[in-house]
Amino acid sequence: MQDPDQPMRKLFPIEEIARIPAPGMAVPVNIQFSPDDRMLTYLYSPEHNLVNHLFAFDVNGQQHQVIVSPAGGLSESELTLEEKLRRERERQRALGVSTYEWVKKGKRILYPLGGRLYVKDGLESEARELMAVEGKPVIDPHFSPDGSMVSYVQDGEIYVLDLNGGQPVQVTQGVNGTGKTNGLAEYIAQEEMGRRRGYWWSPDSRLMAFVEVDETHIPIYRIMHQGKPQTGDTAQEDHRYPFAGAENAHVRLGIVPIAGGSVTWMNLDGYEDFYLARVDWLPDGRLSAQIENREQTSLDLVVFNAETGERSLLLREESDIWINLHDMFRPLTSGEGTFEGFIWASERSGYRHLYHYDSAGRQIRQLTLGDWMVDSLVGIDQQQGFVYFTATRKTPLESHLYRVPLSGGMPQRLTHEPGMHQVVMDHYCRRYVDSYNSLKQPPVINLVDIESRTTLAVLFKKEDPRTAELGLEPPQVISFTNAEGEVFYGALYLPPGYTPGKPLPTIVHVYGGPHAQMVQNDWDSTVNMRAQYLARMGFCVFMMDNRGSARRGLAFEGHIKHRMGTVEVEDQAFGVSRLVELGITDPERVGVYGWSYGGYMSALCLVKKPGTFKVAVAGAPVTHYDGYDTHYTERYMGTPQENPQGYEDGSVMTHVDNLQGHLMIVHGLIDENVHFRHTARLINGLIAARKPYELLLFPDERHMPRKLEDRVYMEERIFKFFVENL
């Protein structure tokens, strides 16, 4: 349907939309410094596919070399169910070498591959396979701090293997056949809390802290593999899924000696219906934990005596909106085993900033402040007295590296190239790896000296021929201000040679939910291949971050508290109205698409704003939040028992009578995150209201469609749906 009045630009094959990685995005990931900072290691696919190899870069010799080339682990079909589900929690698509770990001191490196576990005693040494029980996956392997042992979880228990020889030793006991697990993070912790670990070595390698998880009281939610020819156990999955308002897993935190002995359970008296958000060992041998209340309005940072389990409070965070968990608790030391304070991040000012505390939990000073937020804490140089962090200080559309004196003072910006910067600091804060990209710049990775600001090495800068072949142009970033003075940022993809003032059929690409930001000065936006394809066909494609989105401060995000599906829809409709006023959008031809929260938003926009949106593609939509999990849903909505009207108003089914346009629903039948039940309930509502719809199902897909053929077919169907109805 390319407009004959517009200059032609060659349409690329629709397969390019589904191809992963996107142009320019086959880049090194998981970059780590070796313990002596002489080597950099990273994962990279030289074939520009999903199969990663392990590489090393000699900082002094300026040479790259392959350390591990995978011979196994090249297919999803080789993975066990446990591994597949863990990859879903981590949003992991890569195959081959997908993760690795350096020993804390020394030259050893650990990595799983093809369902087996390997260790190299040096980068040049031969890999040796570690012992494992056949048929039972080895989950979450880690070195002990002294490097002499490797730990892992198998069949719900923690095991430790001496690397100098011997058989694996089971260090936790008692869960076999009970339905409990030791050492594994529960679903909620992995999916929503960002805590993927369930056990932690003590600094002296003598003790193991771990979580015991009991989910036996949570009713089973069964998922059937309807597309499989098999019968029996392989045709179904049973999950203990904690629905909003229902019971969570029961969690205990214990410490057990590696050499054998009884468990010391940490004193959690007084906490009821809580979340164990984070666990960290302090340098003085005590154990710290972050404990969040069910309402997620209060978080305690507590410290336990490892021998007795007794607890003391270090600090408490409270919020009228909610607590956003982070990984910016960093102990400070003044010598071996001395705990002299810590760095902590808080949103108490309305924006996430860094604070310096003493060892008793008394605030010494606020290190950063202003109407911007800290993204990450990347390094602390106590010797020189600097704290290094990335932040939105320049603009919420970018992230840059800064440092601020530990003694207080103004932040100093260290990165200057426009765009998004991700930083990995060496152990002594002398050099850092800067991975940056922008709308106009595919990812570049440099090794930089901090003091001289000079680039010591260009680790990665490669032109992807697909970028030029496909003729990709970055979208135009625009901004709008509403009547309340809120600024919204958008990205606009226009057909080649678009003539201003000529209204176009417009498709909104929406996510709209919290903890995410769609519009940034990043290469991801340029290689939004579906948007690029639709623009080639004569559509205007528009993305905008509404109220509730991330990286704009807690008040901006908190607009959705207890009312999901309200202000987000209003804002997206407002964005479309501004495009209409600018003469870009034809108001009679507006569509919308999105996935997950974006699928929810797509369906809601169609049924709540029928005068604005005429066509919607809703991918894996949450249709009623009483069917989603506790930690995510209740953070924003409270429980269904406390906020029944909010849940009802935010349900797609409540508004289906208003449906006037065309709706396509896309869902994977074995989605264990947003269950297909959401779509089934919406279909029942559509039938009751006698409303037409189209349905696209993938029997063997979960929340993230993984098979290339499935993704290609999906793009064809979505594209055809928009062409026929817009």
Per the structure block, which two tokens stand in for 144? 């002990």
What is the per-residue pLDDT for 235?
A: 85
Q: What is d(CA 209, CA 43) in angstroms, rounded to the nearest whole number?
A: 30
Q: Is 703 a catalytic site residue?
A: yes
| Segment 153-164, tens digit of pLDDT | 999 999 999 998
Q: What is d(CA 218, CA 55) in angstroms, rounded to the nearest whole number?
A: 44
What is the per-residue pLDDT for 6?
A: 46
Q: Is 58 a catalytic site residue?
A: no
The dihedral sign for the CA sequence 366, 368, 370, 372: negative
The DSSP annotation for 665-705 comes to EEEETT-SSS-THHHHHHHHHHHHTT---EEEEETT--SS-
Instruction: Using alpha carbons, list the distances in angstroms from residue 518 to 86, 416, 438, 544.
Output: 25, 22, 14, 7
Collapse the DSSP code of 595 into the 3-class scheme (helix H, G, I; strand E, B; otherwise coil) and give the result.
Answer: strand
| Segment 465-503, tens digit of pLDDT | 999 899 999 999 999 999 999 999 999 999 999 989 899
Collapse the DSSP code of 574 into the 3-class scheme (helix H, G, I; strand E, B; otherwise coil) and give the result.
Answer: helix
Burial of 229 (0-12, 13-18, 19+ CB in 10 A): exposed
Which regions of the chain are under pLDDT 70?
A: 1-9, 72-74, 77-78, 131-135, 230-234
What is the per-residue pLDDT for 336?
A: 73
What is the per-residue pLDDT for 5?
A: 47
HSE (CB half, 13 Å, CA atoms) of 281?
20
Q: What are the backbone angles phi and psi of residue 43, rounded to the nearest 5°?
A: -105, 135
Per the structure block, which two tokens stand in for 482? 């509403």
Q: What's the per-residue H, E or C state across 391-454?
A: ECCCCCCCEEEEEEECCCCCCEECCCCCCEEEEEECCCCCEEEEEEECCCCCCEEEEEECCCCC
- Are the CB atoms for 159 and 150 separated by under 8 Å? no
What is the per-residue pLDDT for 77?
A: 67
Per the structure block, which two tokens stand in for 567? 């202000």
Q: What is d(CA 367, CA 391) in angstroms, rounded to the nearest whole number?
A: 13
- Are the CB atoms for 475 and 489 separated by under 8 Å? no
CB atoms within 10 A of CB 261: 11
Sole residue written with tokens 């996510």: 511
Of residues 151, 202, 525, 596, which has the active-site annotation? 596
Q: What is d(CA 58, CA 35) in angstroms, rounded to the nearest whole number?
A: 13
Identity of residue 400: H
Q: pTM of the entire structure?
A: 0.95
Burial 17-47 (b: 16+ CB within 10 A, else e): bbbebbbbbbbbbbbbbbbeeebbbbbbbee
Sole residue written with tokens 């870009």: 584
Identify the DSSP state of 626: G
Residues 6+ away with beta carbon under 8 Å from 650: 563, 564, 565, 566, 624, 625, 637
Per the structure block, which two tokens stand in for 67? 């350390």
Collapse the DSSP code of 173 into the 3-class scheme (helix H, G, I; strand E, B; otherwise coil) and give the result.
Answer: coil
What is the per-residue pLDDT for 91?
A: 80
Burial of 262 (0-12, 13-18, 19+ CB in 10 A): exposed
The dihedral sign for the CA sequence 534, 525, 607, 246: positive
CB atoms within 10 A of CB 93: 13
Alpha helices in 163-267, H assignment, sequence order: 187-191
Of residues 45, 434, 671, 678, which has the active-site annotation? 671
Per the structure block, which two tokens stand in for 459? 């680790």
Q: What is d(CA 97, CA 559) in angstroms, rounded to the nearest whole number?
A: 42
What is the per-residue pLDDT for 8?
A: 45
Q: What is d(CA 362, CA 591) in angstroms, rounded to the nearest whole number?
A: 53
- Are the CB atoms for 628 and 674 separated by under 8 Å? yes
What is the per-residue pLDDT for 136?
A: 78
- Are the CB atoms for 607 and 658 separated by under 8 Å? yes
Comparing C-alpha atoms, which of 95, 44, 50 is closest to residue 435? 44
Q: Is 262 a catalytic site residue?
A: no
Q: What is d(CA 85, CA 98) in angstroms, rounded to the nearest whole number?
A: 15
CB atoms within 10 A of CB 592: 30
HSE (CB half, 13 Å, CA atoms) of 58?
10
What is the per-residue pLDDT for 165?
A: 86
- Alpha-carbon Rg for the chain, nearest whole angstrom, is 26
